[in-house]
């Protein structure tokens, strides 16, 4: 009887213990007898992720969140992911934490950075504490529904405020003002149209002028083109080279002439100085002559003397004529 009671109690107790233990493991999603890959994730925060949440890869559940602890430094949170089976993750693998549905359950999704490059992933610091055989990933937390709801609420409030202001602003008076504004706008448009017509006529004239100017410019350009072509031909023929050579020679000659001129100028300067002194002497002589000084002065100023000289000259002329006519009269030439 006692043995039966013990068996009964033992069976019930064991059954309850097994139910509690295996039920807990099963509800946690653990698979008995299979290997697990442990991966750690360092994040700035984890949103509403909790222990036991699902880990997904390409949308498939491959594990669960084993543990969430704040790092000793307090600047990061370490998440332990327990993946069912052996997993080798890509080098650029990261973890995105996001709501799994609209009802508060979250999930950790293993992705590559290239899939969501716009996210500001938290990086793994180089001095992070590593566990042997456990890879540490960075990640990103998507805003949860409450944050989005808060933003949407703020937007809704802004829209409501805007609507209220619009209602207040858009009264009957505003409508009348808008009507008047529209009427004014119509008048303004008609005026603008007239002005545009006038301007278009003027514009046509301007366009003609521009056209003629363009034609002239074209002809000038044609002439210029011809000139350029001739210059080009000239350049091509080599005449310009000879001209330049000649010009060079002429320039050298001119340079020599300039030197001669310069020397001549210097000589002329001396000559002028000499002439100046000559003129001064001549001036003195003239003055003395006018004053009747000297023989010549007396000759000039003394009329009697002049007439005597004149008569002397005449007599000399007669003498010379007589000498030419009768040389033996004056000159006797004998050898012996």
Residues that bind another protein (CB under 8 A): 2, 5-6, 8-9, 12-13, 15-17, 19-20, 23-24, 27-29, 50-52, 101, 103, 105
Least separation in angstroms between residue 7's CB and another protein is 10
Spatial separation of the C-alpha atoms in residues 227 and 214, rounded to whole Å: 19
Least separation in angstroms between residue 156's CB and another protein is 22
Cβ closest to another protein, residue 19 vs residue 262: 19
Q: Give yes or no for a contact between 288 and 300, defined as CB atoms under 8 angstroms apart.
A: no
Q: Give yes or no for a contact between 140 and 119, defined as CB atoms under 8 angstroms apart.
A: yes
Spatial separation of the C-alpha atoms in residues 75 and 50, rounded to whole Å: 19
Least separation in angstroms between residue 188's CB and another protein is 58
Cβ closest to another protein, residue 15 vs residue 190: 15
Cβ closest to another protein, residue 81 vs residue 124: 81
3-state secondary structure at position 247: helix
Least separation in angstroms between residue 137's CB and another protein is 24
Cβ closest to another protein, residue 16 vs residue 309: 16
- Which token pair is 33? 């007898």
DSSP 257-286: HHHHHHHHHHHHHHHHHHHHHHHHHHHHHH
CA 78 to chain centre: 49
Least separation in angstroms between residue 69's CB and another protein is 15
Distances in Å between the Cα of 166 and the Cα atoms of 67, 153, 162, 174, 181 are 53, 19, 6, 11, 18
Least separation in angstroms between residue 13's CB and another protein is 5
Spatial separation of the C-alpha atoms in residues 138 and 122, rounded to whole Å: 5
> ∠ at Cα 56 (51, 57), nearest 5°?
150
- What single-letter DSSP state applies at residue 321? H
Spatial separation of the C-alpha atoms in residues 56 and 65, rounded to whole Å: 10
Which residue, chain included where needed, has tokens 């008047």?
180
Among left, alpha and beta (phi > 0; psi -120 to 50; other), residue 104 is: left
Q: Give yes or no for a contact between 46 and 97, defined as CB atoms under 8 angstroms apart.
A: yes
CA 34 to chain centre: 65
Least separation in angstroms between residue 21's CB and another protein is 9
Least separation in angstroms between residue 53's CB and another protein is 9
In the chain, helix, strand, coil percent, each to 5? 60, 15, 25
3-state secondary structure at position 187: helix
Cβ closest to another protein, residue 24 vs residue 112: 24
Cβ closest to another protein, residue 28 vs residue 191: 28
Cβ closest to another protein, residue 19 vs residue 149: 19
Least separation in angstroms between residue 19's CB and another protein is 5
Cβ closest to another protein, residue 52 vs residue 327: 52
Cβ closest to another protein, residue 20 vs residue 257: 20
């Amino acid at each position: 009887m006692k043995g039966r009671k013990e068996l009964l109690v033992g069976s019930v107790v064991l059954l309850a213990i097994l139910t509690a233990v295996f039920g807990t493991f099963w509800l946690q999603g653990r698979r008995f007898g299979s290997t697990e890959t442990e991966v750690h994730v360092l994040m700035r925060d984890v949103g509403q992720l909790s222990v036991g949440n699902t880990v997904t890869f390409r949308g498939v559940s491959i594990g669960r969140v084993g543990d969430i602890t704040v790092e000793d430094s307090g600047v990061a949170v370490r998440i332990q992911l327990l993946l069912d089976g052996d997993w080798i993750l890509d080098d650029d693998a990261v973890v995105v934490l996001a709501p799994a549905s609209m009802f508060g359950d979250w999930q950790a999704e293993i992705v590559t950075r290239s899939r969501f490059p716009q996210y500001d992933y938290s990086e793994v610091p180089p001095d992070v504490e590593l566990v042997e055989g456990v890879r540490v990933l960075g990640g990103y937390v998507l805003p949860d529904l409450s944050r989005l709801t808060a933003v949407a609420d703020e937007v809704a409030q802004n829209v409501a405020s805007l609507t209220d202001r619009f209602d207040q602003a858009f009264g009957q008076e505003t409508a009348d003002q808008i009507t008047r504004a529209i009427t004014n706008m119509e008048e303004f448009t008609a005026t603008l149209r007239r002005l545009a017509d006038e301007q278009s006529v003027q514009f046509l004239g301007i366009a003609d002028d521009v056209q003629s100017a363009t034609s002239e410019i074209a002809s000038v350009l044609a002439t210029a083109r011809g000139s350029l072509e001739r210059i080009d031909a000239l350049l091509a023929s080599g005449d310009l080279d000879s001209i330049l050579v000649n010009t060079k020679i002429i320039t050298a000659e001119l340079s020599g002439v300039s030197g001669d001129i310069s020397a001549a100028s210097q000589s002329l300067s001396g000559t002028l100085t000499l002439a100046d002194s000559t003129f001064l002497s001549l001036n003195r002589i003239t003055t003395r002559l006018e004053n009747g000084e000297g023989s010549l002065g007396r000759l000039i100023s003394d009329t009697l003397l002049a007439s005597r000289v004149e008569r002397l000259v005449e007599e000399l002329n007669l003498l010379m004529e007589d000498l030419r006519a009768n040389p033996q009269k004056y000159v006797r030439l004998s050898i012996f």
